[in-house]
Structures are given as C-alpha cells and as structure tokens.
C-alpha cells in the first residue's frame, strides 16, 4: 500500500533523515523483538521480577519515559552503557541484505542520516547487515542525544544543531507517528513507515499512536519502492 510520493513535496530536500528500527528494515523481519526480549530479561534480573511482571513494568516505563532505558535511569540509576550493550547483543543475521535500498539511498541528492533511539553500535551493525551503512553521512544515536530519546524536542534540536539541518529542507522517515510531531513542527516533510499491508507483528497496542496521524505527510509499507519512485520522478 505504498503511497507514491508527490515529487513537488521533495524537490527541495537536501537532508534525508531515517529512523533505524522497523524503518530501514521491514517490521516483519522482527529484529526488534530480540531487543524487546532482552529488555524484559534485563528488567527481570535487575529488580528480581517474574518475566510477566518485568514485561508490564517495561511497558509502563516505555509509555512514561519514552524508552525503557530512560525509565530505568530515572527510577533506578542504572548504567546506560551496560543496558545498551546487553539489549543489543542480538543475532543480526535475521536481516536480509537489501542492495536495492542501498542503491536508492545512495542515489538520493544531499546528505543522509540515521537518527535512532538505539546506540551507534546497534545502528552500525544493522546498517552493515543490510548493506547500506556506507551510504550515510552520520549516525545520531541515543548517546549523542544525551540519553534523552525521541520524541523529546531537545533531542531533535541537538540533531539539527549538530548537523546544521534546516527543517524545511529535510524529510524524516519513522515507524512511530509520535516521533514525527516535532519534525513536522520544524517544517520537515514526514513519512510514516508501517508494517507490510498492516500485518500484525510482535508490536503491541501500546506502541500504536493514531492520535498523531495529522503529523504524517506520507505513508508507505515499502521504503525502497517509495524512494525508487521518488528518484524516478526526479529523473523525468
């Protein structure tokens, strides 16, 4: 159900900003489910909880603080480096290399960034497995954000200041609509990446946020097809 881009809405874009998880790789690969399981295990071990109770608390922290990490830091003063290392100790072979996506990203005019609530190591391993790492100018991760996750306005402000991004000249691709609210307010074009044909994945209802749909300019379930259509329109 890819919504083909209106070329006029992208003709001015010089900065292409991509979220990582469930955006640059498809939801159905389920890579993030490994991280999700690791986070639950971390909470269970830290607080000596059952898996069920740890899972409930993990989701409460996510909703209240934006990320499980942020909540654990606020409530329990955990070491963020320890958390990030353990929850990103996953099997990246679940991801199928995507040379078509790499070619599309390489063909985009201007700068390309990964902007993630994960850490740089996870972003690099993910992008390397996909075969797209070399096509990005930089990665802005949760450490660069001062451990304050999207959708906090201050995190976007840090990214923009660091890379001198002008909102009206940028586009942001995200799988969570609430993370597009600030980009939209900054003048960015916004693209929401959704699961293929809206098929259910491991994601639960607490992750869905239809209240933020007004901040979404375009929707696609195939980011490669979307970018290819955009590149083709520029070539015409």
pLDDT for 78 equals: 96
Q: Residues 195, 221: contact at Cβ < 8 Å? A: yes
pLDDT tens by residue, the chain, 236 residues: 556 778 888 988 999 999 999 999 988 888 988 999 999 999 999 999 999 999 999 999 988 988 899 999 999 999 999 999 999 999 999 999 999 999 999 999 999 999 999 999 999 999 999 999 999 999 999 999 999 999 999 999 999 999 999 999 999 999 999 999 999 999 999 999 998 765 544 444 335 565 566 789 999 999 999 999 999 877 65
CATH number for 7-28+94-235 (one of 3.90.79.10, 3.30.230.10, 3.30.450.20, 3.40.50.1000): it is: 3.40.50.1000
Q: Residues 117, 67: contact at Cβ < 8 Å? A: yes
Nearest by Cα to 30 from 104, 92, 98, 74: 92
Q: Residues 21, 229: contact at Cβ < 8 Å? A: no
Going 64 to 65 to 67 to 71, the CA torsion angle's sign is: negative
Q: Residues 81, 95: contact at Cβ < 8 Å? A: no
| Alpha-carbon distances of 181 from 18, 124, 150, 156, rounded to whole Å | 15, 26, 10, 11
**Separation CA 134–CA 132 (nearest Å):** 6
E strand segments, 71-228:
111-115, 138-140, 170-174, 189-193, 218-220
Helices (H), 4-144: 31-47, 51-65, 68-76, 80-87, 99-107, 120-130
Instruction: Enumerate the domain spans of the chain.
Output: 7-28+94-235, 32-87
Q: Residues 36, 202: contact at Cβ < 8 Å? A: yes
Burial of 36 (0-12, 13-18, 19+ CB in 10 A): buried
As given in the structure block, the two tokens for residue 227 are 């970018």
Q: Could you report the per-residue pLDDT of 95-120, keeping only the tens digit for each? A: 999 999 999 999 999 999 999 999 99
Instruction: Just give the CATH number of 32-87.
Output: 1.10.150
Phi-psi region of 198 (alpha: psi -120 to 50; beta: other; left: phi over 0): left
pLDDT for 49 equals: 96
């Amino acid at each position: 159900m890819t919504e083909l881009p209106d070329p006029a809405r992208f003709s001015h874009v010089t900065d292409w900003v991509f979220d990582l998880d469930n955006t640059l790789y498809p939801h159905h690969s389920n890579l993030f489910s490994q991280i999700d399981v690791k986070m639950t295990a971390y909470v269970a071990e830290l607080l000596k909880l059952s898996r069920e109770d740890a899972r409930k608390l993990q989701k409460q922290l996510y909703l209240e603080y934006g990320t499980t990490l942020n909540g654990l830091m606020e409530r329990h003063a955990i070491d963020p480096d320890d958390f990030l290392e353990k929850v990103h100790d996953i099997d990246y072979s679940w991801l199928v290399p995507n040379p078509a996506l790499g070619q599309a990203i390489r063909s985009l005019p201007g700068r390309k960034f990964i902007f993630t609530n994960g850490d740089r190591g996870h972003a690099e391993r993910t992008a390397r497995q996909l075969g797209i790492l070399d096509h990005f100018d930089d990665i802005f991760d949760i450490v660069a954000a001062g451990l304050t996750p999207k959708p906090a306005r201050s995190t976007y402000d840090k990214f923009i200041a660091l890379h001198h991004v002008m909102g009206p000249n940028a586009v942001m691709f995200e799988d969570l609509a609430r993370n597009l609210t600030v980009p939209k307010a900054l003048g960015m074009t916004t693209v929401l990446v959704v699961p293929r044909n809206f098929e259910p994945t491991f994601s639960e209802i607490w992750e869905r946020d239809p209240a933020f749909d007004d901040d979404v300019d375009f929707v696609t379930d195939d980011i490669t097809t979307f970018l290819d259509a955009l590149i083709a329109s520029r070539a015409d």
